């Protein structure tokens, strides 16, 4: 592989010094999930072109209140973001594009001074705390997630998400948060939680509340 090809090989690590930021109010990117996005604003078309020509990475950063802006008129963003690599790219005739991001890691960001047209940050990859999630915690999450998915499927037969049982509890929590949790602020809270046991509990608790709110039923007892 040539030096230029190596430079263009998708790599989050290569992007950490000046990680492109894509602020969104309704979207949270978790590790190990696929996120389709439609790129249409001119500045994000530029960002996408820059990413494709270099490291192929960007971060999805949560905007809690779009009306709360900084001195540049940009919405304030969370300090913990989901970073991912572009694994799918479909250019459209008018300059827009559809892309697919694969989540790679949680990152802590320190935004750099704005040099248009898009925002960038110095980023640090965050690892989970070392605590091991007890099996009953995982089983409680599986139970609540399965019950909620079944309730959704009863009301919408086209809903097709199947709860995987053969992955670690922290990864399962992220996957369930991505596919099943409704409130973006709650998803952001899951993203920011470094303790894997607490993350599993947050997702399980949120799904019980959602099921009661949306369908009038609940499931299981939280441990």
19-68 residue pLDDT tens: 999 999 999 999 999 999 999 999 999 999 999 999 999 999 999 888 88
Of 126, 160, 175, which residue constitutes the final position of a domain? 126
Query: Does 113 share its domain with 142?
Result: no
Query: Does 110 share its domain with 43?
Result: yes
- Whole-model pTM? 0.89
Query: Does 88 share its domain with 160?
Result: no
Residue that is written with structure tokens 């940009």 in the block: 74
Question: For residue 220, what pLDDT is reported?
Answer: 41
Of 74, 96, 126, which residue constitutes the final position of a domain? 126
Query: Does 162 share its domain with 182?
Result: yes
User: Greatest CA span in the chain, whole angstroms?
Assistant: 59
**Long-range pairs for 44-48 at CB < 8 Å and ≥24 separation?**
44/118, 45/95, 45/96, 45/97, 46/117, 46/118, 47/20, 47/22, 47/117, 47/118, 48/86, 48/89, 48/97, 48/99
Among the listed residues 148, 175, 180, 156, the one whose alpha carbon sits nearest the alpha carbon of residue 164: 175
Which of the four pLDDT bands, split at 50, 70 and 90, describes residue 3?
very low
Residue 97: its H or E element: strand 97-111
**How many domains does the chain divide into?**
2
Question: For residue 2, what pLDDT is reported?
Answer: 37
Domain residues for 85? 3-126
Task: Classify residue 221: in a domain, yes or no.
Answer: no
Question: For residue 101, what pLDDT is reported?
Answer: 97
Query: Does 95 share its domain with 155?
Result: no
Among the listed residues 134, 162, 117, 149, the one whose alpha carbon sits nearest the alpha carbon of residue 20: 117
Give per-residue pLDDT as tens, 74-108: 899 999 999 999 999 999 988 899 999 999 999 99
Task: Classify residue 223: in a domain, yes or no.
Answer: no
Query: Does 22 share its domain with 102?
Result: yes
């Amino acid at each position: 592989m040539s030096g230029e090809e190596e430079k263009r090989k998708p790599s989050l690590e290569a992007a950490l010094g000046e990680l492109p930021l894509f602020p969104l109010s309704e979207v949270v990117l978790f590790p190990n999930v696929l996120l389709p996005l439609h790129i249409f604003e001119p500045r994000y078309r530029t960002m996408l072109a820059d990413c494709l020509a270099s490291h192929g990475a960007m971060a999805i950063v949560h905007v809690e209140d779009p009306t709360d802006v900084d001195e540049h008129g940009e919405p304030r963003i969370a300090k913990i973001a989901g970073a991912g690599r572009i694994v799918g790219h479909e250019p459209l005739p008018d300059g827009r594009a559809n892309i697919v991001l694969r989540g790679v890691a949680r990152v802590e960001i320190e935004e750099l001074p704005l040099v248009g047209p898009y925002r960038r940050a110095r980023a640090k990859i965050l690892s989970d705390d070392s605590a091991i999630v007890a099996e009953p915690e995982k089983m409680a999450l599986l139970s609540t997630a399965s019950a909620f998915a079944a309730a959704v499927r009863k009301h919408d037969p086209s809903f097709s998400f199947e709860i995987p049982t053969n992955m670690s509890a922290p990864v399962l929590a992220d996957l369930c948060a991505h596919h099943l949790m409704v409130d973006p602020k709650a998803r952001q809270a899951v993203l920011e939680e470094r303790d894997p046991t607490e993350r599993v509990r947050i997702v399980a608790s949120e799904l019980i509340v959602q099921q009661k709110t949306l369908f009038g039923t609940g499931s299981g007892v939280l441990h």
